[in-house]
Structure 1
Amino acid sequence: MQGVGKFALERVAERLAAQHGLGACERQAILALPGTVVRCRAAAQITQGDGDDRLYLVIEGLLAGVRQLAGGRRQVAALYVPGDLCGLDKAIGIRRGWEVGTGCDTLALSLSCSAVRGIAQEYPAVAWALWRETAVQAGITAEWLVGLGRRDARTRLAHLLCEMGLRLEATGLGSRQHFRLDASQMLLADVLGLTPVHVSRTFQDLRAEGLAIARGRIIEVPDWPRLARAAEFEADYLRAGPAAASPATAQ
């Protein structure tokens, strides 16, 4: 495995240990996972349906879970930033019915689902950590569903900017007040259930209110608490909570 892949595994092992209470043996098992670094151009599809037995650790860029509909329509159901594991659902045998594509030029570590299942079976604390990771991802999906069903365009976009700012801040890639969101307006439109024109106009509205400024892919938030209030944003769904003891360590 290339050095960048090992470094990515080290970072995710440290994060899982800190957030979910893994010990040295579990961290070493994660570091020993075999993987292949893949480079993908923007707007590329990197999974091939149910026969694809891989999950991806994002190193650089952005992955998107995409549900293709008739007539060329699509809905983006998930975004994965550096440090995220994309495809944990497949590792436990769940098929969500969407493909994974890139939001921009992306670097990722491809991991075998069977290898991940193997260490989860051998180390219950790893299974516990991945279960909690999956729960956080499900919480994000649920929050997006609320946005699509009940928030207007302004609140929906403001909420997404709050979420992405915090998620990127947690990876060390900027801060909630200043971060790079590697998503085109077309991709954001497919996240928010809007047209690209509507997304552009909503960005203009947020700028006019002094809530958020988009300079290309760079997002500036002059007053994050104001943006959070406008978005009715609560961050609890982004966290798994304190590192609760796994069933293995609680005995």
Structure 2
Amino acid sequence: MLASSCANHPYGRPILGWEESLLASSPDTMAAFHQRRYRGTNCCLMVAGAIPKGLEQTISASRLASLATQSEDHPNGIDQTLSFQRGRDTIQVERLEAARLLMAWPAAAADQQHQVMGIDLATTLLAEGRRSRLVERLREELQIVESIDMDLTTLEQGSLVMLEACCPAEHIKEVEAEVDRVLQECASTPVQAAEMERGRQLVGNGLRFSLEAPGSVAGIAGPQALWREPQDPLRPLQDLQNWTAAGLQSDVFGQLQASKAFTLVALPEEEG
């Protein structure tokens, strides 16, 4: 799905690289890649917990201090624009036990924190827990899916919202139609106050629980420092509270529509 929806962007490429590119690599080309990408301006060291005395001096005397900084000779060269294309495809997969409906949407980049929190809230209202819109309708009421999930993957050059529904192959058309109906309903009518509060509580608790261990704090603060100015780890809660039902309806649910997604239907391969 990523290869099709992000065909002209690195998100659509294999993480380990194309086989032909790897086979064509040499020590010189790998060294050039390392010098171009592994630079001080692309690096962030985060430390949380009981910080030992003399740590700053230790780091200053280490090889980390020798990482080259940005220069005109070695520009970062990262395109900050996500190239995403809408579309649709159907594939057959060998030994697939149940059908899959996969949908993807482009979303705000990681440094657009207010928008990211709104999208996180929207996906929570749609598919987090039995009372969420999609789970309640497709799994609890109609019982046409085995599972349905919707998540936001926060990424530097443009985030991605991903939906996955697992169901018997004979229900796949009905599942897709119901997903479309629920998404249109969210875009046409603001969610109720109680539903908004439930969503805020779930998203907020997820953030709070993720900060219980020092290692988790460092893991969250590190990417944030690369994406934007360092901030209080609980700052996103303020952005979460600033979202209203009307804002979600117009700015988020209006974008999470089937017509604006790349949709992939995966079916079990037919025998014979």
Determine if the TM-score, normalized by the shorter chain, exceeds 0.5. Answer: no
The structure with more radius of gyration: 2
TM-score calculated relative to the size of structure 2: 0.27
Greater relative contact order (Cα < 8 A, sep 6+): 2
- Between Structure 1 and Structure 2, the one with more strand by share is 1
